Copies of this chain bind each other. A is one copy, B any other.
């Protein structure tokens, strides 16, 4: 299952000659690690960033501090901005972002542990999905990275 998604995404990026850059928060590098798992990934994988702190989201990705203050680092708006900006910085076809609460701490009533926003920014379309994942910190992180590849894959299969 996991390997299927990795293989599919690898093939789809190569076949469509698309490039990707990644901005991760809660997954801490796991999505980039999946995207570079197969030899030949240097053809499409341009940059991964693990912008774990709010400061690095601002300094490296240019996410406005005011947006983080208003909406929260784990939000639809910040996920979208992370994806759009990492795409812009790297001039790639797709920007992929993940921001969420892996736990076990950090959850709130409105945003419990397992709340994850994943966004894909493309040339003509930006999408963002909210996921409510269950399980341990490790499970939430692993599954978030897989969901990110699935979302990227879905955009690779959709005519732009």
Contact = CB atoms under 8 A, between A and B. Distances in A.
Interface of A: 22, 24, 27-33, 35-37, 39-42, 45-53, 55-56, 59-60, 90, 102-106, 137-138, 141
B28 A32 contact: yes
A113 to B, nearest CB: 10
A60 B53 CA distance: 18
A60 B33 contact: no
B39 A29 contact: no
A7 to B, nearest CB: 14
A46 B41 CA distance: 26
A33 B36 contact: no
Contacts of A52: 36, 41-42, 45-48
Contact of A50 (B22, B37, B55, B102): B22
Given A27-B33, A39-B104, A104-B39, A90 B46 contact: no
Nearest to A104: B39
A37 B32 contact: no
A37 B30 CA distance: 10
A96 to B, nearest CB: 12
